[in-house]
Amino acid sequence: MIETAILDRLCRGGADDHLAELTEIMKTAKMPPAVREYINNHIHTTYSFSPYSPAAAVFAARAEGLSTAGIVDHDSIGGAKEFLRAGEIVGMPVTIGFECRVSMEGTPFADIRTNNPDQKGCSYVVVHGVPHDRIDEVQSFFAPLRAYRNERNKKMVAKINDIMAPYGISLDFDRDVLPLSMYHDGGSVTERHLMMALARAITAKAGKGKPVVVLLKKCGVSLSNKQEEMLTDTSYPFYEYDLLGILKSGFISSVYVEATDECAKLSDVLDFANKIGAIFCYSYLGDAGESPTGDKKAQKFEDEYLDQLFEYLAGAGVGAITYMPTRNTKEQLDRLRGLCARYNMFQISGEDVNSPRQSFICKAMENPEFGNLIDSTWALIKHERGEKLIELRKGNK
């Protein structure tokens, strides 16, 4: 985590302000040597949900020793131009893409949970390597879907208010949620924005520490010992991010409204990615225990039918898989990488960053076994710069 003062400077105002501040900061900043193994292609910014503006994310990644970084906001690539310019200012190559959910309607997985903790028949995918002259096209594609998503967000706010009314807590979407987002500049509003608005309302009502623990338990939120410790640490400067993560894990299911109109079909997003010359990836999650940041509960995902899923994806024309090496066990990764080799799938790595407690570094990348993921990252950078990517999957098994 970068210094709070620097983070504040890099998040005030708009993109031009961020870049001007970054330019000034870099005049005296002392950066560590860039480590070739330290790559991260899956960084969220304020254009979906994160404490980092695009410029702050690039600075923070470089300050931790990353050699390259990638932006993948939800339903938006609105921060990409700032991210690219920030990469130039700090002297670090970067990649751009986006993450979204797709409807699995019309596939064998329409009624099955794949990699989405909240909803069956709705899967997360990432589109990497977006050519820089297609950014505006991506924004146009998602504009109506972001609007549909806000209609669903308002329904969830209403459900939050029903539950929290006995405790004197109420949210207004336009007043409390929308200002937390970059929707006005092409960003998306996610469930995390709703939970952050609720976290702020809870702390405004109850304060921090033990009263929050008591209130959450009254609302039916089950807390682990680790989560209670986090909530009683009132000195932590990003207390509300911890509370948000706990709410997302233990409260969101009680107010969740299923996504429908805002999710394009898998085939439509795949066709769009091919049209703009980007790389469509299925995002492997894998059965997991509680997440390190506390915002995902222990849950089963696609491991039970992974072979069938790969067979379907390959037949549908999906040629790439993205995954997080530190999230999964060696057995899971061996199986996944074996299937990638069988179906000649291009492999891309990235560790989901959207919380101040998270490091930008993926230590697993120090393992020579994952050297192919480093190579694929540099291939993405070349691809985005317009260099012809020949035999994208070759040597990436």
pLDDT of 395 reads 39
Low-confidence ranges of the chain (pLDDT < 70): 290-297, 388-397
Q: Which CATH topology does 4-142+263-384 take?
A: TIM Barrel (3.20.20)
Which residues are 281's β-sheet partners?
A: 126, 320
Q: Measured in whole angstroms, how far is the alpha carbon of residue 355 from the centre of its chain?
A: 10
Residues counted in the chain: 397
CA distance 303 to 301: 6
Q: How far from 35 is each of 351, 373, 381, CA to CA, in Å?
A: 16, 14, 17
CA distance 375 to 366: 13
CA distance 176 to 317: 42
CA distance 159 to 257: 9
Cβ–Cβ < 8 Å for 114, 309: yes
For the record, the structure tokens of 335 come out as 């199986």
pLDDT of 397 reads 42
pLDDT of 390 reads 43
pLDDT of 350 reads 85
Sheet holding 94-103, edge to edge: 35-43, 66-74, 94-103, 122-128, 279-283, 320-323, 346-349
Helix (H) or strand (E) holding 16: helix 15-25
pLDDT of 297 reads 65
pLDDT of 393 reads 46
Collapsed DSSP state (helix, strand, coil) of residue 323: strand
pLDDT of 387 reads 75
CA distance 328 to 302: 12
CA distance 61 to 10: 13
**HSE-up of residue 121 (Cα within 13 Å, Cβ side):** 9
pLDDT of 291 reads 55
Q: Which of 160, 339, 358 is nearest to 251 (CA)?
A: 160
Question: In one letter, which amino acid is 87?
Answer: G
Q: What share of the chain is helix, strand, coil (3-state, %, to 5)?
A: 50, 15, 40
Q: The pTM is what? A: 0.94
CA distance 277 to 280: 9
